[in-house]
Amino acid sequence: MISATVGRGAVLGAVTLSLLGVPAQAAPGQTRTEAAAALPAPDTAALRNVLRSAVKQGAPGAMARIDDHGSVYTAARGFADRRAQRAIAATDRFRVGSVTKTFTAVVLLQLVDERKLALDTSVNRYLPGLLPDNRITVRHVLSHRSGLYDYTNDLFAHTVSGFESVRKKVYTYRQLVKLSLKKARTNAPGAAYSYSNTNFVVAGMLIEKLTGHSVRSAYENRVFKPLKLKDTSYVHPDAKIPGRYARGYLTPDKAGAALIDSTEQTLSWAQSAGAIISTPRDLNTFLSALAGGKLLSSTALREMERFKKVNSTTAYGLGLRRRTLSCGVSVYGHTGVVQGYYTYAFTSKDGRRSVSALANTSNNTKVLNTMAGTLESAFCGKQSNPKRARTVFERTEDVAPSVVRR
């Protein structure tokens, strides 16, 4: 596939581009909003190179969209459907994986705003007898500090066979929690960060208990419809993606083995931890609205942004990651992994610039780490420090986070 030349609305092959005009780096003494607005201009050539590299490394396709002060830049490379040889486009729907966690956290924090939920109250107060320790609070669950074991480590210790064993299964929330409780907890409540999909299964249960409705209804009525996210849906346990979409391709553990088409699956093993379907445009709209204070009160948003350090570049709040890039800029959002899909969706502090990017494969750490370059290109521009950026190398995913990938 051939890249296009830069120009407003220009189209060639699998790439659509729009030129952005963005102010230079902020000067000392500016407010946070002024500083965010003065981010370096995106490096669009570098972004195209990131997508090109991801395809060379094994992703059938890769695409990204930047929304900035009303201007739009999109780029795409490779295929949405290998068999049909259909080019991938930044308008294609896809499974966003753990970006779902941010949607789930928003709904629960709205319930905090409505005084139906308290962050520092035991989960067992709302869901009596669910968890083995009354000290586990709602805050612990949303910040991955509950100590609840991640059952996906066992389900997907072997990538392909694990996936095929659950592809058509439909779980209840309680069945998933039961899988977790078969194993010892990783730490005492609040003692340490330990990423676990179990936490956001519990969060889904809280939503359904406190609203009296399904998580699907909660997402639709509280987020999707108010923000007019027309290409975003939660179809569990339906295995199909509605509309025009990118197919997902799972990389087997055995080097050189053929990719597995993993598009159709119930995603019942994830549900409120990872089953939302969306597009880059809708994800950018969501994150921009969140950072801009359109979904939560200022108090609730501050709670969501009470970040605690995870490693040298990443901190975690309540269903929200803060990632510090090589140029020193911090961005806010989440990564997402489900079988066949890698997602990066992040926004600036003020929500005025957002980027969402997809590669339609998974279980490929080269692609996972290459796609992180979409953030560098979008927010650091030519001020990105390639050497510093390369020092951040992920060997685990949001699915089965204790399993080291090749």
Inside any domain, residue 400: no
Predicted pLDDT at 3: 34
Domain count, the chain: 1
How much is the pLDDT for 38?
Answer: 84
Per the residue annotation, which of 3, 98, 233, 326 is the catalytic one?
98
Mean pLDDT, range 130-150, rounded to an integer:
98
pLDDT digits (tens, 9 = 90+) for 147-197: 999 999 999 999 999 999 999 999 999 999 999 999 999 999 999 999 999
Q: Which domain holds residue 161?
A: 44-388
Let me know if residue 26 belongs to a domain.
no
Residues contacting residue 113 through CB under 8 Å, at least 6 positions apart: 296, 297, 299, 300
253-299 pLDDT, tens digit per residue, is 999 999 999 999 999 999 999 999 999 999 999 999 999 999 999 99
Quote the percentage of the chain above a pLDDT of 70: 91
Average pLDDT over residues 341-350: 98
Residue 323 has φ and ψ, to the nearest 5°, of -125, 125
The question of whether 161 is a catalytic residue gets the answer no
pLDDT tens by residue, 357-393: 999 999 999 999 999 999 999 999 999 998 899 888 8
- Whether 165 maps to a domain, the answer reads yes
Percent of the chain whose pLDDT exceeds 90: 87
Q: Alpha carbon of 310 to those of 144, 157, 164, 374, 389: distances in Å?
A: 11, 23, 32, 21, 17
Query: Parallel, antiparallel, or unpaired for β 330-338 and 321-324?
Result: antiparallel
Distance CA 71, CA 158 (A): 43
Question: How many other C-beta atoms lie within 10 A of the C-beta of residue 260?
Answer: 20
- pLDDT tens digit string along 6-61? 333 333 333 343 333 333 333 344 444 444 458 999 999 999 999 999 999 999 99
402 falls within a domain: no
What count of other Cβ atoms lies within 10 Å of the Cβ of residue 291? 25
User: CA 402 to CA 119: how far, in whole Å?
Assistant: 27
Whether residue 273 lies inside any domain: the answer is yes
Contact 359, 62 (CB under 8 A): yes
**What one-character-per-residue DSSP string does 311-380 give?**
SSSEEE-SS-EEEE-TTS-EEEEEEEEETTEEEEEEE-TTSSEEEEEEESEES-HHHHHHHTHHHIIIII
Q: Rounded to an integer, what distance in angstroms lies between the CA atom of residue 402 and that of residue 151?
A: 10
| Residues 6 or more apart in contact with residue 214 via CB below 8 angstroms | 208
Does residue 216 sit within a domain? yes
* The pLDDT of residue 399: 95
CATH of the domain at 197: 3.40.710.10
* Per-residue model confidence (pLDDT) at position 37: 52
* Within a domain: 10: no
